[in-house]
Chains A and B, each alone.
Chain A
Amino acid sequence: MGTRLLEVTVNGRTRCDAVDDATLLVDYLRRSVGLTGTKQGCDGGECGACTVLVDGAPRLACITLAASMAGRSIETIESLAAAGRMSPLQRAFHEHLGAQCGYCTPGMIMSAEALLRRDRAPTEDAIRAALAGNLCRCTGYVKIVESVQAASRALAEGER
């Protein structure tokens, strides 16, 4: 096992860190970078809580090697709020109770963020399809669907 220098952009900031070949992206983000918003709920690829965006596409950080991220751009839940103000999705999840315990929420919001970037007005079926890899144990998903729909409406009404 070797160690290499990883040059990567995390939430818009370029970094250079030494990482082991075996380091997972979730551990790199949480331990090396110190961004603990990205969660891990399973032992690898089962629950979606660790979903981040890599070059804009959702990706499970718990089954992604950090070393494979060289030159890529990673976005985590911490990137969405601007100047402390919640993004439309974050506001919607807060106001519509898309988050109860909040543990699946970062991954859920990042999956939804990827969806809304490619389709600002998704159908309910499209929402359900896009979030099918994100498990939530609190909500029964009803208010998660409502939250994404509310964010979609807010985007249509011109909120950032």
Chain B
Amino acid sequence: MSSSIGAASAEASPPRTVGHPTPLVDGVDKVTGRARYTADLPHADALVGMILRSTVAHGTIVGIDVSAARALPGVRAVVTGDDFAAPYGVIPIAQNEWPLARERVRYRGEPIAAVAADDRASAEAALAAIVADIAPLSPVFTAQDALAEGAPLLHRDKAGNVEREVAQDFGDVDAGFAAADLVRERRFHYAEVAHGQIERNAAVASFDPERGELTSRSTTQVPYYLHLAIARCLGLDRAQIRITKPFVGGGFGHRVEPLNFEIVAAALARAAGATVRVEQSREDSFLTHRGRPETDIRLRLGLRAGGEITAVDCEVIQRGGAYAGYGVVTILYAGALLHALYRVGAVRYRGLRVYTNTPPSGAMRGHGAVDVRHAFEALLDEMGGELGLDPFALRRANLIEPPWRTANDLQVNSCALAACLDRVEEASGWRERRGKLPRGRGLGLACSHYVSGAAKPVQWSGEPHAVVNLKLDFDGSITLLTGAADIGQGSSTLLTQVAAETLCLPIERIRVVAADSALTPKDNGSYSSRVSFMVGNAALRAAEALRDTLVEAAARTLGVAATEVVWQGERCLVRGTDRELDFASVVAAALAGTGTLTVKGVWTTPSEMQGGRFRGAAVGSTAGFSYSAQVVEVAVDEETGAVSVEHVWVAHDCGFAINPLAATGQVQGAVWMGMGQALQEETQYHEGLALRPNFLDYRIPTIAESPPIDVTLVDSLDPLGPFGAKEASEGSLHGFAPALTSAIADATGIRLMALPATPDRVLDAIVRRRREARLESMRANRAAAAAGERTNP
């Protein structure tokens, strides 16, 4: 752990690096076009790999005849499901997907065969020559159909097409409802949405048959999980494999599990004994999917007159698609983060993750918790209205105070949600403006939270949660070696800042080498907003270890005790004297006799933050929860149903912003992604056929329709986070949708129970309300007339 040697002076001076807006250390490469993403890697000799997809949503594979394809000129390899040793899946207990389908296909677009050829035309000809004999089975496309009595089963071992049924009970729910002054129950529906990262999927795999070595570079957020999957599926020893991650053009969860095209590229490379490049289309990305599942929620809440939540009863059904992926985790997250935001003592949660003949859903930014957050906040808002409570007062009535143990055994060590509420209340002019806006305009509030890293990794190996190495060499440069995957969120920059701050050195001295399994220590990957917290902590400890070594070397050279050395980075002093040593001399002293120095820092989440003892308790547990409050202002056109977002004010408790520039950008991006889902994004299928597998039909917001997003970063100085930091990448996403629908309710009186809030849904609700109002007034008139007849016979 941390040593105090030389630390006194470092702590006495204000932070020089952390806490300051810092452009990305790899930013120049990005703006100049020099950054190489997977598809940019130069390989003149690479074969073109292509994948054949099923046109059948559910069927038995009678046979796949590849003989004609194999005989075509320029074709170097053809592989099918039979060429793999094992199925894969990111969760060890749910590995039921083959890189290329075996025996059965379960969704339209599922990969069934792949080829590697000299050029694209030859590869396309080979795909066309493959004869797939698939006997159709009855498909199920909705959760309701999949759950119906006698529905065809997707997986033999999963009765009723239920991948996972969750039942969690905390506290006395019945007593909680009995104690409530107001109980309401509502049903909500959420469309399936997709990540829409702008970079298309790609993989470049090379196989050297002479040495039996496989090298893979691909668009991944999780190089380590990909490493495991390729070893497993190809039957290779893990030591034969090298995974490197080039620049990655966004992820948002699409790439947090190994994906078929990456494993297929590796199989093709091995079969051809060559380098194979697989470049996927945008349509392929939509078919590979792993997005947020279509979700149905029934939610019942009990509130006291003062707004205190007395009980929660919730049922969630997720349409998971054809394979497991992260499904078990997603349905558990929905329950874990449903209520843990507030002071809640009684919870009944029922979750169903269902298999359907649609592309597999997976983890998407805000994993599992986005739709339940909408339901919860929306119902709170509605009930608060009935109770005559201001939305801010309602939230303030339910705030937790750290340290706090939630009903489901999650530990909260820091929480500045109260300050977040204060900030957005002020910034949005809520008190002056709410209720006084012109017709069609409205303000809505919602809160949210998220984990800073899942406390239990999916591969439970007993290793620390994060490891960072620092290498100091003769030239005085420090190389930070990390497996953490920078996918645009700025993790390499943050780790540089943490190390530089701890060593009191300028960030220019530190170079990051990331995500190359041959060089860098293993990292679990960029998901669950774990990197800043976990890898940041490992970097902090590595830098402390290096600083201690350098201080000791300086002390030896200066002939004083280490405690007498005042460490200032580029130079150090003997306390109370003017004797000093420059950094180069300290480095020379430290390397003398030992040579190049490599130190290590590790981080392990304390066990009390790893959740309770009930089944599924690990999901939701984390060492640090972020908190967020946001106010959304909307304008609703009641003639067309069009909703425009005029402004968003958001305050995010990220503990401490190590890089306020990146944290602000992440919060803006998260809020905005929430906006896309809330306003307009929605996949669509016709009998399993994806109808919107492109950016014209799947409409992510353009710059023309995107609002100003004012961010306030709120400090809570988490006791375990590096410099007090927590996550800033996901937790503000969840609050957007409920703030939006509450704003729409404020503007129009309409409460939307289904998202996205497309013009047709909004207009339907407006028309329905007008019709109900007309009927109401007709009934009232008739009743009045009848009463009149009785009094005036």
- Residues of chain A touching chain B, judged by Cβ–Cβ distance below 8 Å, are 30, 34-43, 46-47, 49, 76-78, 80-81, 86, 89-91, 93-95, 97-106, 109, 127-129, 131-145
Contacts and interface: CB of A to CB of B under 8 A. Distances in A.
A22 B199 CA distance: 23
Contacts of A40: 39, 200
Interface stretch (B75-83, B247-255, B563-571): B247-255
The size class of the interface chain B forms with chain A is 35 or more
Interface of B: 23-24, 26-37, 39-40, 42, 195-200, 247-250, 252, 281-283, 487-490, 661-662, 664-666, 668-669, 671-673, 675, 694-696, 700, 702-704, 706, 708-709
A132 B703 contact: yes
Given A46-B695, A145-B703, A102 B665 contact: no
A76 B131 CA distance: 43
A38 B696 CA distance: 21
Given A39-B198, A86-B31, A132-B703, 17 more contacts: A37-B32, A37-B33, A43-B281, A78-B34, A89-B31, A94-B28, A94-B30, A99-B24, A100-B24, A100-B490, A101-B197, A103-B199, A140-B675, A142-B708, A142-B709, A143-B664, A143-B665
Contact of A140 (B39, B196, B199, B669): B669
Q: Which 9 A-B pairs have the closest CB atoms?
A: A37-B33, A101-B488, A140-B672, A102-B30, A103-B249, A77-B33, A36-B40, A46-B695, A132-B704
B710 to A, nearest CB: 9
A97 B666 CA distance: 10
A36 B199 contact: no
A49 B282 CA distance: 13
A103 B255 CA distance: 15
B669 A139 contact: yes
B464 to A, nearest CB: 28
A148 to B, nearest CB: 10
Q: Which interface residue of A49, A102, A103 has the most chain B CB atoms within 10 A? A: A102
A41 B709 contact: no
Contacts of A43: 281-283, 694
A90 B34 CA distance: 12
B198 A136 contact: yes
A39 B199 contact: yes
7 contacts: A37-B33, A78-B32, A93-B27, A95-B23, A101-B249, A103-B250, A137-B252
Contacts of A140: 668-669, 671-673, 675, 706, 709
A59 B249 CA distance: 22
A100 B28 contact: no
Contacts of A99: 24, 27, 30-31
A97 B247 CA distance: 16
Contacts of A100: 24, 250, 488-490, 665-666, 669
B254 to A, nearest CB: 10
Contact of A139 (B197, B668, B695): B668
B654 to A, nearest CB: 16
B445 to A, nearest CB: 19
A131 B662 CA distance: 22
Q: Which interface residue of B200, B671, B673, B675 has the most chain A CB atoms within 10 A? A: B200
A91 B709 CA distance: 23
B704 A102 contact: no
Contacts of A36: 33, 36, 39-40, 42
